Amino acid sequence: MNTDDINLAYKIRHALNENLEALPASTTDRLAAARAAALARKKPDAAPAKAVRRPLFDVNALFTGPALARLGVAIPMLALVIGMGGVYQYEQQQRVAALADIDAAVLADELPLTAYLDHGFNAYVESQQRQQ
């Protein structure tokens, strides 16, 4: 409720209370009887619910319908992420190994001098690796 609604409720209550004494006795008796009947039909107040301690990890909740649906999406996504990470690591290892072979060949001076001046140096090194 915003402030305007609260102010309107206070104004209505004040207007009803002003004319309360001007009501005839028969009206006040009927209002009292209606209030008593309403109170008789009222449901008893429920006791406040006690706090239920749930375990930190509920295994039975994993096998409910919504949880299985979430797992049905999460497990393939997790497998995809792990698989893509594995492919990335494999490619990086292959690249590092290729660069290490090039560095080893350069340091061992097994390359002719023209290989250092050639623009296709990487192509030359790769062709040499294929021949071995």
* pLDDT confidence band for 86 (50 / 70 / 90): very high
The whole-chain average pLDDT of the chain stands at: 80
In terms of pTM, does the model score above 0.75? Answer: no
Write down the pLDDT at residue 62.
Answer: 65
Position 83 confidence tier, pLDDT thresholds 50, 70, 90: very high
Q: How far apart are CA 73 and CA 88, in angstroms?
A: 23
- DSSP notation for 60-127: GGGGSHHHHHHHHHHHHHHHHHHHHHHHHHHHHHHHHHHHHHHHHHHHTT-S-HHHHH-TTHHHHHHH
Please tell me the distance from the alpha carbon of residue 86 to that of residue 89, in angstroms, as a whole number.
Answer: 5
